[in-house]
């Protein structure tokens, strides 16, 4: 038990250990830099000498009875404190922390030595040290885990953005009854095909094309983007692009417009500065095109990760 008469020696011992622990970081950092820049033998010997010197100073700070007991106490505190210091350094690297001034880090360097030394003092001091070690270890583990998750998420986001062939705000998806998306949505234009192939006369006959632009709708024909051109029947040339006077455009309210030409039609929806167009041949019901633009929305990075990486 910690008795009042023991408080002064305990404080003196822990204070001495703390001071020695604080000195190990700047000395060790200097020797490590020397080692990194070519002073191999000298720096390596210096690092070992630093630990030995720290152990010797901690031995002198000990007040345990018997030289053998004090020696092993000094060895345990030195190695335990150094292990804690190395663990803390690894945490700072994992968290990508900036070091800046050495003084705050040097003051923190003595903490692991004190915590190990406190394990050998008294019952209540030992309990406090155990709680502090568990709290620091748990906090560091949680911080590193969250940082790792954040870094992984950022890496995945960058991978997604590199795979896109269009700005992220122009990569949208939609839901159309009786249709499914044909391709991974990485461009501004995505095709949807009918799931009931019995109604399809040839490939692409009833496809719906959903396209995104930042081009504002202008003019009586809802240009300037050209009207959708459906895929032609096999062995037939595609129909010519209709003239503006062959295209009608009706305002349906709520930011919606319906556009129609000789062999194709489309619905247009304006959301801010983004224009969503769903076009198809006239064989496709107008209501499906309206449903396509109404349900259209930007894809999230998480959804794109699932699409691209099969997660």
The whole-angstrom separation of Cα 142 and Cα 163 is 32
Beta bridge partners of 280: 265
Handedness of CA 18, 19, 20, 26 (dihedral sign): positive
DSSP state for residue 52 in the 8-state scheme:
H
Residue 258: phi and psi, rounded to 5, are -115, 125
Contact 209, 279 (CB under 8 A): yes
Task: Find, among 198, 192, 200, the residue nearest to 175 by Cα.
Answer: 192
What Å distances lie between residue 251 and 37, 258, 268, 271, CA to CA? Answer: 73, 7, 9, 15
Per-residue pLDDT tens listing for the chain (311 residues): 445 556 767 777 778 888 877 877 767 666 655 555 555 666 566 666 666 666 676 766 665 555 677 777 778 887 888 888 888 888 887 777 777 777 787 888 888 888 888 888 777 778 888 898 899 888 888 988 888 888 877 787 888 888 888 888 899 999 999 999 988 888 899 999 999 888 887 778 889 999 999 999 998 889 899 888 888 878 777 778 888 888 999 999 888 999 999 999 999 999 999 999 999 999 999 999 999 999 999 998 888 888 887 65
DSSP state for residue 119 in the 8-state scheme:
T
Task: Find, among 45, 109, 52, the residue nearest to 83 by Cα.
Answer: 109
Burial of 106 (0-12, 13-18, 19+ CB in 10 A): middle
What tokens appear for 8 in the block?
Answer: 């002064």
Query: What pLDDT is stored for residue 178 in this prediction?
Result: 93
What tokens appear for 64 in the block?
Answer: 């345990």
CB atoms within 10 A of CB 113: 27
């Amino acid at each position: 038990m910690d008795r009042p008469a023991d408080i002064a020696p305990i404080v003196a011992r822990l204070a001495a250990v703390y001071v020695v622990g604080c000195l190990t970081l700047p000395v060790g950092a200097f020797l490590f830099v020397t080692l990194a820049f070519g002073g191999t033998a000298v720096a390596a010997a210096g690092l070992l000498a630093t630990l030995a010197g720290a152990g010797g100073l901690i031995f002198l700070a000990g007040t345990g009875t018997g030289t053998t007991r004090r020696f092993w106490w000094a060895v345990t505190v030195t190695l335990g404190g150094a292990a804690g210091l190395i663990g803390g350094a690894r945490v700072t690297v994992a968290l990508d922390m900036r070091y800046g001034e050495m003084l705050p880090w040097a003051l923190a360097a003595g903490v692991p030595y004190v915590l190990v030394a406190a394990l050998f003092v008294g019952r209540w001091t030992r309990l406090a040290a155990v709680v502090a070690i568990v709290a620091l270890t748990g906090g560091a583990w949680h911080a590193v885990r969250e940082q790792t998750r954040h870094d992984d998420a950022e890496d995945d986001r960058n991978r997604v953005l590199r795979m896109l062939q269009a700005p992220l705000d122009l990569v949208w998806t939609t839901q159309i009854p009786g249709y499914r998306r044909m391709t991974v949505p990485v461009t501004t234009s995505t095709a949807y095909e009918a799931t009931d192939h019995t109604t399809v006369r040839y490939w692409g006959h009833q496809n719906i094309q959903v396209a995104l632009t930042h081009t504002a709708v202008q003019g009586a024909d809802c240009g300037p983007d050209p009207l959708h051109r459906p895929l032609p029947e096999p062995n037939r040339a595609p129909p010519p692009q209709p003239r503006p006077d062959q295209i009608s455009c009706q305002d349906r309210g709520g930011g919606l417009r319906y556009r129609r030409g000789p062999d194709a039609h489309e619905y247009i929806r304006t959301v801010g500065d983004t224009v969503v167009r769903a076009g198809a041949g006239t064989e496709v019901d107008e209501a499906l095109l309206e449903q396509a633009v109404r349900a259209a929305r930007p894809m999230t990075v998480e959804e794109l990760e699932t699409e691209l990486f099969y997660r």
